[in-house]
Structure 1
Amino acid sequence: MVAVAAIVVGAVPVVSQDLNLPVEQVGVDVGMMVGQVVEHHLTGCHLVLITTTQHSHTFSNIIRQFSEDVEAGMVVDAGWAFSQNQLTQDNLVQGLWGDSRTTCRGLILDLTISNSIDVAFRFLESAKLWKHSETRVVVVGGTAGVKDVLLHHSLRNTVHALYLALHDLTLHTSAHLGKLGLRTVLPQEDSLSERVLLYRRCLYCNNGQADVQLILQKTLSQGLFQDQFQNFRGHRLRIVTVPYFPYMDYVRRRDVRGGIVEPRDSLDIRIITSFSHVLNFTIDLFAEPDRSFGDERDGNFSGMIGQLQREETDFSTIVAPTTGRLKVVEYLRAYPSDVMAVTSLKPSLLPAHLSLIRPFSGDLWFALLWSVVAWGVLMWVLQRVWQLVAGGRSVKFNTALLYGWGALLEQPPRDPSVSASGQMLVGWWLVFCLVIATGFRSSLIAHLTVQGKSSSLDYFEDLVSQGNWRWATEPWLYKGAAYEYFAKHTDPVVNQIFKGMEVMEADEALQKVMAGGFSLIDFKNYISVIVASRYTDSLGNTPFYISNKEISVLAAFGWGVR
């Protein structure tokens, strides 16, 4: 995770009057404080300074501090940016956060004019600050707007946020702090400065909700940005899910589409339960109404990914990453991907009376027949040529052909050869017949001992080669990443599977599988559970065969995070 900082400078002139200090001195103080934060926490970061006015002492002093220490950065006038055409704004936002090599970013937002806060936050929203949840926000300004700024919707995904406010003496009284509704952390050390107070946005300190703390520390060198994810303090997370056992399973509490569901024992629930005990959070589990992982249309997603994209939920259970999905959600890898398998009827026993021909395949039987004919023709031609040259008796064609066949059956008739070349040809044919007969005899014994079975269907190629074979998959699966695999694949076999794919529920498809000539394509872990629980007897017998060959479709499984 990259570190991003946002320093928000607020309405300081009002407080400077309370302290009877010159405006110039206030600007110097703020500039020095910001410089300390940058020096200790943002060294080497790509910094962006956004202001709504370039005519303030605060702005000038911040620029003066950065001119000495900052290696790279940008200065943007939010009001000017909004006055430009859309193309200029898009180009500005595109280069605002640096490039993919930027590992640390800083944003400084000058809100010296108190009525410019709305303009500044509108710009932050258009610049998609909410996509950079690692942003470290340091707010500098008056105490009146602390809570409004630190809890502003534009900072909803910001993990770290600080607010440097000019010191108002009345804030020392606990009664006044209570009126502001600010939570207080008061260490033993002296205050940070006689004129500056430090506030921090805490994500879960108000019974699991975001709130603001007042912090009095001696320096800005350490302890400003703490890990806030060790204790969620009972925060309630909203989780969207689809049933996909063994990864996720639930029972609906009531017959309402997309309502809260009751989780059942499954892998994701075990992991979430373990995390909740350690990190102290609770969950509300919601079913995705259409049981959809997420399909993209014009950059907008449906299903679980769509809820994350619209920030309607905090995270989703198991989902596969794709190029499009990774543009709108974060992804936590949890499992290796489930592979696809072909579910068909178990291979059946072959008829016993066909054991005599099963030792050799059809191609080999055809090759043997062709060999007998070819040898007989060659034998007859050689003997015929010898007769024409040297004289002597002739050899009939049927005699040569029957000798070749008889030798193959180990019952050869009288040797028909009348020449040395014919005898040589007969000798090699006898050797060939010995090899073939030995192989046939041993294979025949094996087939008579163990009855053969029909071939199993393991690959997509096996389905395509069957002829008049049909296949299907489930409607909830044939969406999102799995659908993209079939729709965009360049292999001709996969394209043929895609064109012939039918869509139906698992139970309906398995009934068709039992009728024959049909297969179900589904994720292996998922369909294995269904077959074992619904179609297997107490002795472990089942009519289905789930292919041992694995077909990888997805890269990995994990959780999606908004």
Structure 2
Amino acid sequence: GVLVVLAGSVGQQDLTQGLWGDTKTNCRALIIHLDHNTNNCTDRTLRQLDEAGMWQLSDVRVVVVGDRNEVESVLLHPSLRNVASAVFMAISTKQSSESIHYLHHKAMQEEVGERVKVYRRCLYCNAGDPTVQFVRRERLDILHLSRSLIHGLARNLQGRRMNVVSVPFSPYMDYIKHDDRPGGTITPKNCVDEWLLPVISKKLNVTYNIFEEPNHGFGLATNGKFNGMMGYMQREEADFCTSAGVTDDRLQVVNFLRTYPSDLMTLVSLKPTLLPQHLALIRPFEQEVWASLLVGVVVWGVTLWVLQRAWVWATGGRAVQFITALLYGWGALLEQPPKDPSVNTSGQMLVGWWLVFCLVISTGFRSSLIAHLSVQSKTRPVEVLEDLVKADNWRWGIDAWLLKGVPRDYFSKHTHPTVQHIHKHMEAYDSDGGLRQVLKGRFSFINFHNYISIIVASRYTDKNGYTPFFVSKKGFVLVAFFGYGFRKGAPFYTQFSQVTRRLEDAGIIKFWIADVLARGVRERSAKAGLDMYPDLSTELDDNREVVLGLNHLQGAFY
């Protein structure tokens, strides 16, 4: 809709409602008539616009009618600092005190020959800063504001210098510092932003002043006030920040631009190990099968003993001892049966069917044992958070820098009992400290998949590609995407969005991420100069002595 404001005649509440509209409509154009019959009407109107949040509505077109002496003070007023399109129609003091509709009516009757001067505010024409430009002079009755004059989307930002706050977040942002003091200027290095920011700079003609957030904090809210990068955005101390996660709280103070796809939060644990060899002989059958066999042997022995005792009681003759019947059942199951203890036909039938049963069981056991010795079973890997809670005497931790951003809110505010339990017993380490805890066993380290994968591949992997760590592929998503955060009302948000959207649709951003991951592993490995783990090629040496294990004896079971 279009909102017409007569200076001094609109209340603050009505002005705010008119600017922000409702769920169905919002303000698309604002026409302001500065009436000089009211004292201080200009300053009061502009203050009302600032309090109403006009600075957040960069896409609203503004047309101001007023006195020629107020052109610069109005168009460069802080309340309109983010408005992309603002036009001032300057008329004489006498004319400006009359109704716009009355002036237009007089002009149509050719009673007014006075021409109006049209000015516009150009956001970037003063070496990237706003300035006021004179457009033309026209008679009021034939004045026409062209589409190009009121269209606010500039394709060329004319060298505007933007302040950018950043924290390290590999592989998206990493940098080299130009001085050791916190909050100093930086230059992106070995990261995706090293490619993306120059492309945007060249396309939109902008330059950057990139500095680090002193505490390397992404931003957490306390009583509505953010710290970290989000605090810089909330206080408008920077134009935008580098990649951060999107949350409901942050959206209240920052406009996020989708830049990179979301990364999984994953678990790092020791690789699954072989199950103990001393249990290999019982592993072919499940516990239920072994229990059934035990009960079956006892029941069969008791049945044979009862039948033989009944036969001896009825006809006389040699009796069968209970221990003899029981041991025969076990011996037949082990393919080493003793002498047949049966003394009648019914006992022989029972023994015969038991031998058939033992043949089936022993054949199945032998086949399963050979299979388990050929492809040995391993412990179950830790894949999801539920696995941490179910494991006995298991500990877990998280990278300390993640507690300055979205992961802290996720674990502290989540209502699921498993996540609450994880948060209650969470430990904090840096990346190397957490991985050292993993090496001690029965510990998992929580981190972003891409970030920790670079560290594992570059620092904890030998030249043969072996690493003791298992990085889970079944992580969980914290945020919808990672993106640049822009201060509210930033007039260049749309231009940045167009560039990044085209790069993403073309697959270039995805290619950059894969390239940075691969290049980061190579460069960090070369910088380390040595493997964190010794050469494991000796494990493949057939001439060295090895400990004799059950897997070396599996030929006896064929």
Aligned pair partner of 1:380 in 272, 277, 302: 302
Kept in 2, the 8 Å contact 1:376–1:397? The answer is: no
Kept in 1, the 8 Å contact 2:76–2:130? The answer is: yes
The residue type paired with residue 302 of structure 2 is W
Task: Check if 1:344 corresponds to 2:266.
Answer: no
Unaligned runs of 5+ in 1: 1-44, 55-76, 82-88, 169-192
Alignment of 1:282-297 (within 5 A): 282-297=207-222
Distance 2:348 2:327 in 1: 15
Tell which deviates more after alignment, 403-412 or 267-276: 403-412
Aligned pair partner of 1:256 in 178, 181, 188: 181
Alignment of 1:56-455 (within 5 A): 77-78=10-11, 81=12, 89=13, 93=16, 96-102=19-25, 104-113=27-36, 115-166=40-91, 195-216=115-136, 219-360=144-285, 364-365=286-287, 367-374=289-296, 376-377=298-299, 380=302, 384=306, 397-399=322-324, 401-412=326-337, 414=340, 427=353, 433-434=358-359, 436-455=361-380
Distance 1:288 1:398 in 2: 81
Shift of 1:317: 0.9
Kept in 2, the 8 Å contact 1:379–1:425? The answer is: no
Alignment of 1:485-500 (within 5 A): 485-500=410-425
Kept in 2, the 8 Å contact 1:348–1:454? The answer is: yes
Shift of 1:387: 7.2
Tell which deviates more after alignment, 254-263 or 541-550: 541-550
Kept in 1, the 8 Å contact 2:27–2:60? The answer is: no
Q: How many residue pairs end up in the alignment?
A: 457
Quote the residue 1:480 is aligned against: 405
Shift of 1:223: 2.0
| 1:146-205 deviations in Å (ceiling 9; x for gaps) | 11111111111211111111279xxxxxxxxxxxxxxxxxxxxxxxx9522221111111
Aligned pair partner of 1:469 in 394, 398, 403: 394
| 1:369-402 deviations in Å (ceiling 9; x for gaps) | 3442255337636974897799568876545544
Q: If the length of structure 2 is used for normalisation, what is the TM-score? A: 0.74
Q: 1:138 to 1:401 in 2, by over 3 A?
A: farther
SS where residue 30 of structure 2 aligns? strand
Quote the residue 1:519 is aligned against: 444
| 1:332-366 deviations in Å (ceiling 9; x for gaps) | 11222110111122333445454323334xxx235
Kept in 2, the 8 Å contact 1:417–1:426? The answer is: no
Q: 1:496 to 1:367 in 2, by over 3 A?
A: farther
| 1:42-78 deviations in Å (ceiling 9; x for gaps) | xxx1x33333445xxxxxxxxxxxxxxxxxxxxxx24
Q: 1:445 to 1:140 in 2, by over 3 A?
A: same
Shift of 1:325: 0.9
| 1:90-119 deviations in Å (ceiling 9; x for gaps) | x97357521232255333333212621221
Shift of 1:268: 2.0
Moved over 6 A (4+): 385-390, 392-395, 417-422
Shift of 1:494: 2.0
Shift of 1:473: 0.8
Q: If the length of structure 1 is used for normalisation, what is the TM-score? A: 0.73
Distance 1:420 1:135 in 2: 101
Aligned pair partner of 2:429 in 486, 493, 504: 504
SS where residue 478 of structure 1 aligns? helix
Q: 1:166 to 1:115 in 2, by over 3 A?
A: same
Shift of 1:506: 0.8
SS where residue 223 of structure 1 aligns? helix
Distance 1:430 1:98 in 2: 88
Distance 1:210 1:520 in 2: 50
Structure with the greater relative contact order (CA < 8 A, sep ≥ 6): 1 or 2?
Answer: 2
Shift of 1:433: 4.6
Q: 1:387 to 1:453 in 2, by over 3 A?
A: closer
Quote the residue 1:528 is aligned against: 453
Shift of 1:328: 1.2
Kept in 2, the 8 Å contact 1:380–1:396? The answer is: no
Distance 1:294 1:426 in 2: 78
Kept in 2, the 8 Å contact 1:239–1:313? The answer is: yes
SS where residue 149 of structure 2 aligns? coil
Aligned pair partner of 2:465 in 537, 540, 560: 540
SS where residue 147 of structure 2 aligns? coil
Kept in 2, the 8 Å contact 1:380–1:395? The answer is: no
Shift of 1:522: 0.5
Distance 2:357 2:73 in 1: 95
| 1:14-50 deviations in Å (ceiling 9; x for gaps) | xxxxxxxxxxxxxxxxxxxxxxxxxxxxxxx1x3333
Kept in 2, the 8 Å contact 1:167–1:195? The answer is: no
Shift of 1:403: 4.6
Quote the residue 1:51 is aligned against: 6
Shift of 1:127: 0.9
Kept in 1, the 8 Å contact 2:60–2:83? The answer is: yes
SS where residue 124 of structure 2 aligns? strand
Q: 1:261 to 1:386 in 2, by over 3 A?
A: same
Tell which deviates more after alignment, 306-315 or 551-560: 551-560
Percent same amino acid among aligned pairs? Answer: 47
Quote the residue 1:69 is aligned against: none
Q: 1:439 to 1:149 in 2, by over 3 A?
A: farther
Q: 1:94 to 1:481 in 2, by over 3 A?
A: farther
The residue type paired with residue 63 of structure 2 is V
| 1:230-260 deviations in Å (ceiling 9; x for gaps) | 1111101111111011100011111111221
Shift of 1:417: 10
Q: 1:136 to 1:514 in 2, by over 3 A?
A: same
Shift of 1:536: 2.2
Distance 1:417 1:244 in 2: 83
| 1:474-495 deviations in Å (ceiling 9; x for gaps) | 1211233212221222333222
Shift of 1:453: 3.7
Quote the residue 2:484 is aligned against: 559
The residue type paired with residue 214 of structure 1 is F
Unaligned runs of 5+ in 2: 94-112, 488-558
Shift of 1:503: 0.9
Kept in 1, the 8 Å contact 2:246–2:482? The answer is: yes
SS where residue 220 of structure 1 aligns? coil
Give the alignment's Cα RMSD to 1 decimal: 3.1
